[in-house]
Homo-oligomer: A and B are copies of this chain.
């Protein structure tokens, strides 16, 4: 029987990051990753297979990081966890002994029980290379594609499938706007505008009631009774934690049905940790359960779990929720609570917004406008959230905003932010979006007192 100090179940973002972190903190431990896939797709890169990248083989996690960190790999399916014996049983009968076990089993796409969902050519986004290849073949041979769900996955899939193809794409979203769980209205509207301009049809406040067709899907019926032609359907309506193994092993689950963990990423078995999409999460702001599934959050949790395996070193602050996307040349990014979400949570908010070119003067090459919106709690001035829209460097600026949120900085702190600026890289220091958005919130408060 093979024996390892650490066994990690799952070889995607959380599993790899947990194993590498363990190696860095505990140089002498033996580490095994067990994964079911021969090749692992980069999760956030999956939509880009269908346009920018051109194939699933161009979107693979490199295994070099495992070899470089002396992490062994076993490809196979785990059948069960024997907590009493501290072993993992594989489907083929092999058993592996562990001292510490990390569950990084990820998530599976949600498949709603809509009539006809089991028809051919109705695809979910399974993180599986042969399946994603099949999906690509079908995209290439389709004239009408219906994407169900206007969240990140749905919007990115629609945008990518539209690239270089003569194809009619429709997005069906239940909520009044696409990306509504992520962004405030003005960002959603801009994103929808970009998509519509590129020819994508967006149907919001619409629900799918049936996938029609003989054997293979040929149409989608909405509850408004609209009918859409469809050679294929792509479901992008979220994901659920993979908890089968954990449940069968008697591990507790949390309120969003993820594996329950404490702030050290430990389950109710002191030798078993969980992190990433399969693990239960809570909000940084109010501790409320969170179902958010992000690769970046997964690796953050993995860096906590991996460091805590043999000695408690790190504590989880909860989910701030930092994410970004790009449609054409326009980047959208978000951290913390949107204005809508903050109000829903009962905060009295003040908003500050600032827009400026990301170069100075504006004639410098690479100029793109960028807007920053910040959300503050009125009484304390503490930042609750931020959004950027425009230049691609927003993908990094959102991380400066994330640091401000994490450190509970106030609008005044941010107005005095010790930023660096440069003509070829950022906005001018006078109009720098982050500091000026904070100032505009302060101004709004002082004007309201007059």
Contact = CB atoms under 8 A, between A and B. Distances in A.
Interface string A417-450: 1111111111011111011000110110011001
A317 B360 CA distance: 26
A101 interface: no
A327 to B, nearest CB: 9
Contacts of A17: 429-430
Contacts of A325: 422, 424
Nearest to A62: B361
A335 interface: yes
A20 interface: yes
Given A27-B446, A423-B44, A416 B300 contact: yes
Contacts of A418: 284, 296-297, 300, 317, 319-320, 322, 335, 402, 405-406
Contact of A399 (B303, B316, B434, B446): B434
Contacts of A319: 418
Contacts of A299: 429-430, 432, 435
Interface of A: 13, 16-17, 20-21, 24-25, 27-28, 42, 44-45, 48, 52-53, 58-61, 65, 284, 294-300, 303-304, 307, 313-314, 316-317, 319-320, 322-326, 331, 333-335, 360-361, 363-366, 392-400, 402-407, 409, 412, 415-426, 428-432, 434-435, 439-440, 442-443, 446-447, 450
10 contacts: A52-B424, A65-B431, A294-B420, A296-B432, A297-B418, A325-B422, A326-B422, A335-B420, A400-B400, A403-B404
